[in-house]
């Protein structure tokens, strides 16, 4: 898995349940990739921010 594929999968992971295989592959990639693990935290933050934004 490369970073491009990982970012696509992380986005989908916010909207659907990833398969076991997808989750495993993603987890492995995140372990070795700083950029993508930052990206993953940023997506989670964006989701939270949007939720608060709706409630404001």
Partner 1 sequence: MNANTEHGDGTNGDTLRPDAEQIAALREDMLRFARLQLRDSHLAEDVVHEAIAAALKSGDYQGRARLKTWVFAILRNKIVDVIRERSRHPSEPYIEEPEPELEGQFKANGHWKREQQPSAWHDPETSLANDQFWVLLEACLNELPENPARVFMMREHLGLEVKEICIELAISESNCWVLMHRARMRLRKCLENHFMQQDMNS
Cα 2 to Cα 51: distance, rounded to the nearest angstrom = 30
Does 4 engage in binding with partner 1 (CB under 8 A)? yes
> Which of 2, 17, 21, 27 forms a contact with partner 1 (CB under 8 A)?
2
Cα Rg of the chain (Å, integer): 12
Residues 15-54 that bind partner 1 (CB under 8 A): 15-16, 33-36, 38-39, 41-43, 45-54
DSSP class per residue in 12-27: HHTTSPPPHHHHHHHH
Residue 56 in contact with partner 1, rule: CB under 8 A: yes
Task: Select 21 or 55, whichever has its Cβ closest to partner 1.
Answer: 55
């Amino acid at each position: 898995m490369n970073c491009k594929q990982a970012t696509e999968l992380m986005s989908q992971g916010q909207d659907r349940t990833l398969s076991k295989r997808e989750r495993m592959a993603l987890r492995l990639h995140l372990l070795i990739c700083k950029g993508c693990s930052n990206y993953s935290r940023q997506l989670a933050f964006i989701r939270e921010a949007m939720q608060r934004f709706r409630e404001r």
